[in-house]
Structure 1
């Protein structure tokens, strides 16, 4: 009889211990600004969801209340996977990771955060005074998600912010990956492409977007049409660029203080970086290495997604093995 009780106890213990509670249940209630959007945002949210059909892997929407409003996060990947935080670029949203989400989520649990001062599904209710408050806002999200240790990936302006987080966060940043970071390792070099973007003010919105994409991508025709439709709608929403003057390249001493493994990838036709970026990365970042991705521009994660995905995954896997 005692044997049967023990066996029953072990069976029940195994069953209930295997049923993990939904640790992010409190963040899955969809806020009213999403369910009942105004006319201007309704079309954008529909376009956002249409782009997500290209995500390539199951995802969950999380809505986290912060001191500046509601943060929207896309979560994918195995529950027991090492967390990877994704920071998108300027004038974009987390949907820009549509070419990369499937490959990353196969091995890691990814959290793609919509920056609240950019188009996306985050909703700002309070202003930011400076770029330091933007970094602090991300810390609120890490705390809410209980992300104490994770890999961090940032692209373009997201690369600058990711570096700032890595420099100041008290959390365990296992590795830092920067995809064509802007104003991070070096100053933006003068170029005809840069001049072309400045003169976009003399063109219609449609022409300006096409001209811009032509300078950012090696092959703009590869960019998904649904994403482009979402991007155009997003430009009608506010993107706060008042912090751009504060985004200056980090000093040599700051780069030297980055102790985690760092991977910097740039395109061979990158408007914001040159091989000098790679030189500085490997000279000043103790565990830094850089590579130039052939046949790609600033949007290297779109221009060469398979190559970039493999380099990112291999890099993070090697960091995991070394731990």
Structure 2
């Protein structure tokens, strides 16, 4: 089978990961899931859930530092672009299906407990899973979470509308350039993000905002100071009031989509300190 432009960009970004990174394809009732695994075998497990269109490869700038102590499992989320195979499995229809998929994925990875970190849409999914199966989540890290503490800015949704109606690489690239202005995210990743819009069959399952006041594990919320997805001040205030074991940190100069790649050393230091 000939490779698509998305496949070529995916392989190019995959090459940025440490050479000892393993590729695992885990069978679940909903489809075979690609997971990038790095770090010491006896390290504390850490599952990473990316934002929409970002793929599990977006953590390439974080893996070397986080993988010193932790066994990283960076997931290509089911329903999004990536190497996760949706064919042949039970179709995802609801948010409950997503948590059932994560249950099966953790079982397949042999993880009875793990630290969980998500960015954007991945943070929403991480919160839902932590509420669904709290005994399996030791610590929860949320990077500029969307639809968790507050809704999207109307202006952000307005900018995204053309991309949602008729997704193209050019529209995705323009939207990303607008939101990440001034931060200069990695060019290979930007190309992969834009090409994700052209992948057929993408379907991100969404749902209502989770009840964050029910979270009982330690939670770190890292917010992008210049996020255009929502109002960081509002999110910070609500997170501080809602989380009994929460810590909120604002990353200076970061935007919503650039966050995992903006000043990765600072981001890695915050995550490493929180995860212990």
Q: Same fold (TM over 0.5)?
A: yes
Tell me the equivalent position of 1:131. Answer: 95
| Deviation for aligned residue 1:57 | 5.3
Secondary structure at the aligned position of 1:264 is classed as strand
Among 305, 308, 318, which residue is 2:264 paired with? 305
Distance 2:80 2:164 in 1: 20
Among 216, 234, 239, which residue is 2:196 paired with? 234
Alpha carbons 2:179, 2:228 under 8 Å: kept: yes
Tell me the equivalent position of 1:75. Answer: 37
Describe how 1:215-294 pairs up with structure 2 within 5 A.
215-220=178-183, 222-237=184-199, 238-241=201-204, 243-244=205-206, 246=207, 248-250=208-210, 254-273=211-230, 274-294=232-252
Tell me the equivalent position of 1:187. Answer: 151
Secondary structure at the aligned position of 2:61 is classed as coil
Among 136, 140, 155, which residue is 1:172 paired with? 136
Distance 1:171 1:202 in 2: 40
Tell me the equivalent position of 2:84. Answer: 122
- How many residue pairs match? The answer is 271
| Deviation for aligned residue 1:304 | 2.3
Q: What is the Cα-based RMSD across aligned positions, in Å?
A: 2.1
Tell me the equivalent position of 1:96. Answer: 58
Deviations 1:280-320 (A, max 9, x none): 11211110111111111102121221111111111111xxx
Gaps of 5+ in 2: none
Distance 1:203 1:287 in 2: 42
Secondary structure at the aligned position of 2:12 is classed as helix
Tell me: CA distance 1:211–1:143, structure 2 relative to 1, closer, same or farther (3 Å): same
Distance 1:132 1:295 in 2: 35
Deviations 1:19-59 (A, max 9, x none): xxxxxxxxxxxxxxxxxxx44x5543332121012124520
| Deviation for aligned residue 1:203 | 9.5
Q: Which moved more, 1:210-219 or 1:289-298?
A: 210-219
1:212 corresponds to 2:172: no
Describe how 1:1-80 pairs up with structure 2 within 5 A.
38-39=1-2, 42-56=4-18, 58-80=20-42
Secondary structure at the aligned position of 1:109 is classed as strand
Distance 1:292 1:314 in 2: 15
| Deviation for aligned residue 1:202 | 9.6
Considering only CA atoms, is the larger Rg found in Structure 1 or Structure 2?
1
Distance 1:293 1:56 in 2: 26
Tell me: CA distance 1:59–1:291, structure 2 relative to 1, closer, same or farther (3 Å): same
| Deviation for aligned residue 1:157 | 0.3
Tell me the equivalent position of 1:162. Answer: 126
Gaps of 5+ in 1: 1-37, 318-323
Alpha carbons 1:265, 1:290 under 8 Å: kept: yes
| Deviation for aligned residue 1:200 | 5.3
Distance 1:306 1:194 in 2: 30
